[in-house]
Structure 1
Amino acid sequence: ENASSVNLTASVLAEAINKTIFAVSNDELRPAMTGVYCQLSSQHFTFVATDAHKLVRYRRLDAKAASTTAFILPKKALTLLKSALPVDDVNVAIEYNNTSAFFKFGNINLVCRLIDERYPDYEAVIPVNNPNKLHIDRLAFLGSLSRVAIYANKTTHQVRLKITGSELHISSEDIDFANEAHERLNCQYEGEDIEIGFNARFLIEMLKNLSSEEVVLEMSTPNRAGLLLPQGGDENEDVLMLVMPVMLNSYA
């Protein structure tokens, strides 16, 4: 009762789930973050997921609702929904009330209970002034990180990005096993030279979940979050991925 509804194509919904679900938290002490936050408005449709180390905001400009609302969908329900969605552009009707969401397509009705929690103010953690911008080929960056990460500390997975001019140096070390790795990539860079540390697993996961040829990594200072943004692609899609840095050891 008192249900509102919105319509999405199956392919758009699948893309929204795929782009966000990997960033959902498994921390049961923060139940709001164990689901994907859905915001519907007359301007756009937004899916958000975060585990406090990384955050994804997936926004569709071609999907709109009559009224503004927001709810949290559990990860398990979205995983089930994703596997049930058809590959073609079938229309999916999403109905929701204060306690549940209903997904209807073809002859399938999927009902899921919403997570009854307040979602953190994610907009507040997205940095706005990021003068340092690294433009790089996504697959080259992904390949280099994947190789260098093998030699990183197995607990922190820390990699160091050092950007000087148009060169990106990626390095890692594991002092316990006397391992280290260094790679150098050409890039396009605007801003001051910077040295910043990230968890390689998070960056790799994000790059794998993007599909554009080129990405931009926007940064401000080594202790503030970095933003990973795809370049080009679908104009109705607005994808923002945020990753928290890790503190670098100063002796390296």
Structure 2
Amino acid sequence: MDAFILSRVEHGVMTLTLNRPDRLNSFNDVMHQQLAECLTQAERDDTIRCLMLTGAGRGFCAGQDLNDRNVDPSGPAPDLGYSVDTFWNPLVRRLAKLPKPVICAVNGVAAGAGATLALGCDIVIAARSANFMMAFSKLGLIPDCGGTWFLPRVAGRARAMALAMLGDKLSAEQAEQWGMIWQVVDDAQLSDTAGTLARHLASQPTFGLGLIKQAINAAESNSLDAQLELERDYQRMAGRSADYREGVSAFLSKRPAQFSGK
């Protein structure tokens, strides 16, 4: 079986590379299954403290491989909801719930579900030549893979509506200016910049980083009172962690902290 997901673990970082460059890393069912297996490893392995997602070749991801969803005009209409429910929705939920930072290094075009997949990661760094495109409207579809949830939150309602309805390309630099992604770097610097950030996060108090991630995600739907109570509960959990004890000890001793992620 072809390896459509390349996986490497070094220095506490699991790097997952989408590997169908001849198809701009568009997803078929086997690719989904291989990515799911890698996420299971990331969830279970405590030595993995940061996840980085990127693409092979000249694109990050063109979303769903339409060859797998080809419509026969004389046949029954396809059930695209089944595909979303079986593959894309579980992927979005797992990345959101993963108690570890998830970095996306967008190395080229991110279109359709490839764009919303990137925006669903915790920190997005893009090559200067990269672009984002909500291509769903070109096919008479709606943004999925969390697109209608992420877009208004990262771009605002007006921009989200136009991006989704027009399906125009958005440059990486414009996405950065709009606050949709964290950083744009020169193409030649993308791998080093994203890798350095991933290794840094993997060396930090990742138990606390996981709580930060869950708290910020919860704030999107919580009332202020509910969020204050969640902060109290999470702070209680963080204060009981080995990372907190190490952080305080290192601060008082004026030495670099050695966090374990526990």
TM-score in terms of structure 2 length: 0.24
TM-score in terms of structure 1 length: 0.25
Q: Compare the two structures and name the one with the higher strand fraction.
A: 1
Q: Compare the two structures and name the one with the higher helix fraction.
A: 2
